[in-house]
Amino acid sequence: MHNETLRPESPPDDLAGFLPPLQSPTGVAEGTLVDKYGRRITYVRLSITDRCDFRCTYCMAEEMTFLPRDAVMSLEECLRVAQVFVGLGVSKLRITGGEPLVRKDALWLIERLGTLPGLNNLVITSNGSQLDRYAAPLFAAGVKRINISLDTLKPERFRQITRIGDVNKVLRGIAAARAAGFRRTKLNTVMMRGMNDDEFVDLVQFALDNELDISFIEEMPLGDIHGRNSSYISSDETRNLLSQRFELTPSGEDSGGPARYWRIPGSETRVGFISPHTHNFCDSCNRVRITARGELYPCLGQNDAVNLMEILRSGADDQALRQAIMDSMGIKPFGHDFSHQMETPQVVRFMSMTGG
């Protein structure tokens, strides 16, 4: 990692100038976000950097051009956006990247997000590389849960998938999260035929042995990455494979995201499947994404976005920001269609640019 490329601006010493979430006299958040299909938006995924210390093959190009510092939202701007969303009734916020923990002073932001009244579920998605340093401070800051990307347990294969990563560092991060007090930490595994499909049973067993949850994710056609047609695996195929080794019992549990869960009797481990191709979850979509450069994407699988950065830097008040967010509900589509986009994706931005 080259630290000189990861330094943001210095954060302020206090929260002066940031307004608390707007509440009605009854205590219920005003202007609750509801799209034109009647879906209530309660979950925001907020990317605080497009940078990462890995270069995962399904997430970004090997030679990425990252955003210049002034094109990325400041930590103060991230906080302001989060405050307005919480004032609109959002109760779950996931901090993403890139790898969010390579952003200098990311903990400053997370500590303040953890104190927002009405934000009941502050969570983070990480590649695990920085957790041996940050797990304890994140727990103290009020982070409820960590999702950790882990596609393989084999060191050489891990380096091949991430191009530069060390799986042992991630395993230390997983252990550090447990030692810090985190429970129900979830592994996210992208399914890739010919790359890691021979490890799915081992990964579930690892989750069982370490009291973790695990979700298997169908690869999504984001960014110009060739070869997806040959590497794609469906959730049904993987679930059938796992059923030969484990007894999987359907569960109606909801973590507030897109995963559908199965239980393994006798354990607390949940095995989830995120299936944007085969079991589209759009009808119950409750989330929007904010990129590191302040773009609000109502749908991961579409290109329509609202530029919040212009409002943040125009001198406009929070009411203008609030109105832009509410207006964005008008461009949230009913759903995406990934079925014919594997080699020629409609969405040409990489996953790391959207926010994991």
Which pLDDT band, with edges at 50, 70 and 90, does 23 fall under?
A: very low
Max avg pLDDT among 54-58, 173-177, 329-333: 173-177
d(CA 4, CA 21): 35
Torsion of CA 212, 215, 219, 221, to 10 degrees: -110
**CATH 3.40.50.720 fits domain 23-354:** no
Which pLDDT score is estimated for 257? Answer: 74
pTM value is 0.84
Do the Cβ atoms of 146 and 185 come closer than 8 Å? yes
In this structure, what are the phi and psi dihedrals at residue 61, rounded to the nearest 5 degrees?
A: -75, 160
Which pLDDT band, with edges at 50, 70 and 90, does 356 fall under?
A: low
Which pLDDT score is estimated for 283? Answer: 82
Cβ contacts of residue 225 below 8 Å, gap of 6+?
57, 58, 61, 350
What is the per-residue pLDDT across 214-244, written as a single tens digit (0 to 9) for each? 999 998 765 454 444 578 999 999 999 999 9
Q: Residue 344: exposed, middle, or buried by beta-carbon count in 10 A (0-12, 13-18, 19+)?
A: exposed
State which H helix or E strand residue 271 sits in: strand 270-274
Structure tokens at 182: 């985190």
Strands 260-263 and 270-274: what pairing? Answer: antiparallel
Q: Is the N-terminal amide bond of 98 cis, ω within 30° of 0? A: yes
The rounded mean pLDDT for the chain is: 85
Which 3 state secondary structure label does DSSP give 122?
Answer: strand
Do the Cβ atoms of 218 and 234 come closer than 8 Å? yes
What is the per-residue pLDDT across 268-310, written as a single tens digit (0 to 9) for each? 999 999 987 666 667 888 999 999 999 999 988 788 899 999 9
The residues pairing with 290 across neighbouring beta strands, listed in sequence order, are 46, 296
State which H helix or E strand residue 272 sits in: strand 270-274
Structure tokens at 290: 């904010």
Which pLDDT band, with edges at 50, 70 and 90, does 175 fall under?
A: very high
The percentage of the chain sitting over the pLDDT mark of 90, rounded to a whole number, equals 69
Which pLDDT score is estimated for 64? Answer: 79
95-99, 182-186, 257-261: the lowest-pLDDT one? 257-261
Which pLDDT score is estimated for 59? Answer: 80
Max avg pLDDT among 112-116, 339-343, 352-356: 112-116
Which pLDDT score is estimated for 62? Answer: 75
What is the per-residue pLDDT across 84-97, written as a single tens digit (0 to 9) for each? 999 999 999 999 99
Which 3 state secondary structure label does DSSP give 113?
Answer: helix
Q: Phi-psi category of 194—alpha, beta or left, where left has phi over 0 and alpha has psi -120 to 50?
A: left
Which pLDDT score is estimated for 315? Answer: 94
Structure tokens at 68: 């210049």
Q: Is the pLDDT of residue 211 over 90?
A: yes
Q: Is the pLDDT of residue 28 over 60?
A: no
State which H helix or E strand residue 22 sits in: none
d(CA 222, CA 289): 14
Structure tokens at 12: 């302020």
Do the Cβ atoms of 151 and 189 come closer than 8 Å? yes
